[in-house]
Amino acid sequence: MITGDASYIKKINRSLIIREILREEMISRADLSKITALTRATISAQVADLLEEELVVETQLEHNSVGRKPIMLSLNGHAGYALGIDLDFGQVSFTLSNLLGSPVSSEIIRIHTNNYAEILELLILNITKYQKEFSDSRYGIVGIVVAIHGLVSNDEFIQYVPRFHWKNVNLKSDLEKAVGVEIHLENNANLSSFAERVFIHHETDNLLCTTLYSGIGLGMMMNNKFFRGHDGFAGEIGHMIIVPGGKPCTCGNKGCWEKYASETSVFEYLSETKSISNITYEQIQQWMNEDDSDVYEIMEQFIYYLSIGLNNMINIYNPDVVVIDSELLRIYPDSLHKIHQNLHSQISHYRELTLSTIGKKSCVLGACALAISHFLDVPILNLPYKD
């Protein structure tokens, strides 16, 4: 039984009730009381507050049995919106979702600059646009989260973004001064792991999500919380050395994992082999359909080096679920089976290793979900994923 300050207990109970309403999607007051072990009086009082705040709505179910028709509770997804922003090299993705995490607006803006002031201006312009366009609900935009492909400290200060060459910039403060609302910054891989936990793997407490696109990032959910390390920089797994004295990396070391097992490395190998620049996934898919030996050789090498790093990750963290986010692996035949075949260690333990079904959208959807989590004050959410 939880004891302590009455307002704190009320806050904990409220969070518990909202989480169960989200988990079940529709639930009665009586079932809420059973699941949460809270008294019916507590449930009634809390639900009355949530109804008044328009965060919860009632629906009366139709049924043929004798007796009162049950009144079901569900979260009011239209009470507000969450804005997720994925600030990546070459493009910025904006997704606005309702409070159930369902996207209502998405946009990708190409950028051709690394200049901090220019990108800051673009972000301010678009955030302001969304604030004006979606102010008609009870709460408007309830939160804004920006995904950063680099080092973000525990106090949300950007230490380093490799591909932008940004060092020690306070994007959070600069944005907040301009748009007048709280902004949160988070590492992109962490947000991808959060999306996988929130939308797909609802019953998993310990999850690793490794993203393989422009580099390699690792998002870690341990006991349903981000594992950040001392300064917040944990998860830079792409700079684990797997080939001593190997290819030089922008981080200053040689032989980093992402130089051999990121999608960027595959595209670079193929560009060199084919003497073609700006290769697309569609071209790679076509070459696979044609049984191109160069493509298959490079993909097999990609999977070989990928498996080395995955083996290390699994042995270090002993996760429940490992999610790999890679478009190349999704289009390469039997890729997951090939990875499993390369994981030979008898001491590697995990329950499930799978490819992401969310894909590149996981980062921006994770940003939306984190904004919702902050607003509802529910640390971990269970939301339905609708592709």
* CATH number of the domain residue 56 falls in: 1.10.10.10
Question: pLDDT class for 354, splitting at 50, 70, 90?
Answer: very high
142 shares its domain with 43: no
Residue type, 75: L
Average pLDDT of the segment spanning 84-101: 96
Run of H or E residues at 27 = strand 27-28
Residue 344 CA: distances (Å) to CA of 237, 300, 312, 338: 21, 17, 12, 12
Region 356-374 average pLDDT: 96
Give the model's pLDDT for residue 60: 79
Determine the average pLDDT of the residues in 38-65.
89
For residue 54, the enclosing domain spans 6-75
What is the number of domains present in the chain? Answer: 3
Q: Does pLDDT of 1 surpass 60? A: no
Q: Which of 52-66, 210-224, 331-345 shows the lowest mean pLDDT across its residues? A: 52-66
At 60-70, the pLDDT tens digits run: 776 656 666 77
pLDDT at residue 386, as a whole number: 81
In a domain, 385, yes or no: no
* Same-domain check for residues 214 and 179: no
384 falls within a domain? no
Query: Looking at the predicted structure, is the pLDDT value of residue 381 above 70?
Result: yes
Whether 134 is covered by a domain: the verdict is yes
Helix (H) or strand (E) holding 169: strand 166-169
Predicted local confidence at residue 6, as pLDDT: 83
User: Of 256, 253, 220, nearest to 240 (Cα)?
Assistant: 256
Does one domain contain both 286 and 257?
A: yes
Q: Is position 386 within any domain?
A: no
**Residue 343: per-residue pLDDT:** 87
Range list of H helices, the chain? 6-24, 29-36, 40-52, 116-133, 171-179, 188-195, 258-261, 263-274, 281-289, 293-317, 327-331, 335-342, 362-376
Answer whether 97's CB lies under 8 Å from 368's CB.
yes
Task: Among 19, 50, 75, give the residue marking a domain's end.
Answer: 75
Q: Is residue 381 part of a domain?
A: no
Residue 16, in any domain of the structure: yes
Residues facing 152 on adjacent strands: 158
Question: Domain boundary residue among 26, 44, 75?
Answer: 75
Do 222 and 354 share a domain, yes or no? yes
**Are 334 and 366 found together in one domain?**
no
d(CA 304, CA 320): 22
Question: In whole numbers, what is the pLDDT of the chain averaged over residues?
Answer: 93
Q: What φ, ψ does residue 320 adopt, rounded to 5°?
A: -80, -50
Assess if residue 198 is contained within a domain: no
Average pLDDT for 287-314: 95
Task: Indicate the residue among 75, 93, 121 that finishes a domain.
Answer: 75
Residue 317's CATH number: 3.30.420.40
Q: Both 71 and 211 in a single domain?
A: no
Q: Which amino acid, residue 138?
A: R
Check whether 284 has a pLDDT greater than 50.
yes
- Note the pLDDT tens digit of each residue in 156-213: 999 999 889 999 999 999 999 999 999 999 999 999 999 999 999 998 999 999 999 8
Same domain for 87 and 173?
yes
Look at residue 314 and tell me if it is in a domain. yes
Same domain, 159 and 227: no
pLDDT tops 70 at residue 4 = no
pLDDT at 368 over 90: yes
pLDDT above 70 covers what percent of the chain? Answer: 97
Average pLDDT value for residue range 129-155: 94
Query: Are both 53 and 121 inside the same structural domain?
Result: no
Instruction: Say whether both 10 and 149 belong to one domain.
Output: no
- Domain identity same for 165 and 236: no
The whole-number pLDDT of residue 56 equals 96
- Quote the pLDDT of residue 66: 60
Question: Are residues 171 and 229 both part of a single domain?
Answer: no
